[in-house]
Amino acid sequence: MFKLRRQKPALLGIDISSAAVKLLELSRDGSTYRVESIGVAPLPQGAVVDKTLANVELIGQAIQSAVKRSGTKLKHAALAVPTSVVIAKTIQMPASLTDEELELQVNLEADRYVPYPLDEVRIDFEVLGPNEKNREWADVLLVASRRENVEDRVAAVEFAGLKADVVDVESYAIENAFELLPDVAGDHDSDVEPAIAIADVGATTMTLSVIHGGRCIFNKEQGFGGRGLTELIQQKFGLTYAEAGHAKKLGTLPANYITEVLEPFKQSMAQQINVAMQFFHSSSANRGIDKLILAGGCASIRGMGTCAESMLGIPTTIANPFANMSVAQKVKPETMTAEAPAMMVACGLALRSFD
């Protein structure tokens, strides 16, 4: 099973992405969340290739070291599979079915939507609610992915001595974390719900999600990310991949770096976002985007918000899911600030503790 619905114990959110394992524990006091622990462990190049875990043990070790760094005591985790390896479909089922009947029926129906033999996939479903047009039917979200996408991630988490209670989907995690962003909170009062785009630009993938009325109405992944910038630095200044990665974050590069490498990269990042937004426009009868939020490690590139705003003509901010949270004493504020934009998926997963 996919395990979209969670059981009882508090959950550690674990984002296994291409460049790092990111882990987050939240607690809640009334309506305020608190960061209890945060841990990031980098992954070597080649550990995750095209969304596939090339080496489960290596990822397991990275999870172990992220756990150690974070100091968390939690043993149960929520993780996610990348949106691009998931088939999601809303189907209609008679509302009168019992849970067992529904499960049986969904599995029978799945054959029509999943282009693989069913013994090669993991399937789960969630009842969304009554169908708007016909109350005798229920809308059911069917989610499927090839077994290894789920099982390898679960195995990596188990290798680290944890138990995977929830296996979610990255785009649902981003949708879940969205309400934490201060740029979004105020908008629920206005008459017209704005469409807000969130561009998560990581090491290898940029994901554009459009959120409207609290739901993700569009999701698109493109192969673009900070690894490209690291490789440019490597070539231009004769550095190893690791040296180039460090120098990029610390800004310790010759003066011509800014004009000859960084600025062109920022512009191509804005262009990539623009391309994804064009796909949204054409798929949504030309609905506009009212705001853009940059997330992922590349959102931390200095001046990236201004660059995107001026090229795209849309008010742009940088994601900070921790903005309204309190922080446990053991958490280093620098780590939190530095990692905040790249923690959207981990935040959405950690929030699954409070379902």
Ligand X SMILES: Nc1ncnc2c1ncn2[C@@H]1O[C@H](COP(=O)(O)OP(=O)(O)OP(=O)(O)O)[C@@H](O)[C@H]1O
* Pair 341, 300: CB distance under 8 Å: yes
Site for Mg ion in 11-70 (CB under 5 A): 17
- Give CA–CA dist 131/135, Å, rounded: 5
Which CB atom, from 60 or from 82, has the smaller least distance to Mg ion?
Answer: 82
Among 205, 219, 316, 317, binds ligand X (CB under 6 A): 205
- Give CA–CA dist 44/18, Å, rounded: 9
Rounded to the nearest 10°, the torsion over CA 333, 337, 338, 340 is 130
Site for Mg ion in 192-211 (CB under 5 A): 202
By 3-state DSSP, what share of the chain in percent is helix, strand and coil, each rounded to 5? 45, 30, 30
- Give CA–CA dist 275/281, Å, rounded: 10
Pairing label, strands 12-16, 205-212: unpaired
Among 188, 215, 249, 332, binds ligand X (CB under 6 A): 249
- Residue-level length of the chain: 355
For residue 291, the minimal CB distance to Mg ion (Å) is: 21
Q: What Å distances lie between residue 23 and 1, 12, 37, 72, 202, CA to CA?
A: 23, 7, 8, 9, 16
Check binding of 342 to ligand X (CB under 6 A): yes
Give the end-to-end CA distance of the chain in Å, rounded to a whole number.
19
Q: Measured over all CA atoms, what is the biggest interatomic distance in the chain, rounded to whole angstroms?
A: 68
Size of the site for ligand X (CB under 6 A): 21
Tokens 């524990």 locate to 25
User: Among ligand X, Mg ion, none, what binds residue 301 when CB lies within 5 to 8 Å by partner kind?
Assistant: ligand X
Among 150, 301, 331, 340, binds ligand X (CB under 6 A): 301
For residue 295, the minimal CB distance to ligand X (Å) is: 7
Which CB atom, from 202 or from 341, has the smaller least distance to Mg ion?
Answer: 202
CA angle 167, 34, 304 (to 5 degrees): 80
User: Among ligand X, Mg ion, none, what binds residue 245 when CB lies within 5 to 8 Å by partner kind?
Assistant: ligand X
- Give CA–CA dist 306/288, Å, rounded: 20
For residue 301, the minimal CB distance to ligand X (Å) is: 4
Check binding of 39 to ligand X (CB under 6 A): no
Check binding of 204 to ligand X (CB under 6 A): yes
User: Among ligand X, Mg ion, none, what binds residue 83 when CB lies within 5 to 8 Å by partner kind?
Assistant: none
Check binding of 232 to ligand X (CB under 6 A): no
DSSP letters spanning 143-178: EEEEHHHHHHHHHHHHHTT-EEEEEEEHHHHHHHHH
Among 13, 39, 60, 225, binds ligand X (CB under 6 A): 225
Which CB atom, from 17 or from 353, has the smaller least distance to Mg ion?
Answer: 17
Check binding of 300 to Mg ion (CB under 5 A): no
Check binding of 245 to ligand X (CB under 6 A): yes
> Other CB atoms closer than 10 Å to residue 302's CB: what's the count?
11
Which CB atom, from 86 or from 123, has the smaller least distance to ligand X?
Answer: 86
Check binding of 18 to ligand X (CB under 6 A): yes
Check binding of 83 to Mg ion (CB under 5 A): no
For residue 298, the minimal CB distance to ligand X (Å) is: 5
Given the rule CB under 6 A, which residues bind ligand X? Answer: 17-20, 202-205, 225-227, 230, 245, 248-249, 296-298, 300-301, 342
Given the rule CB under 5 A, which residues bind Mg ion? Answer: 17, 202
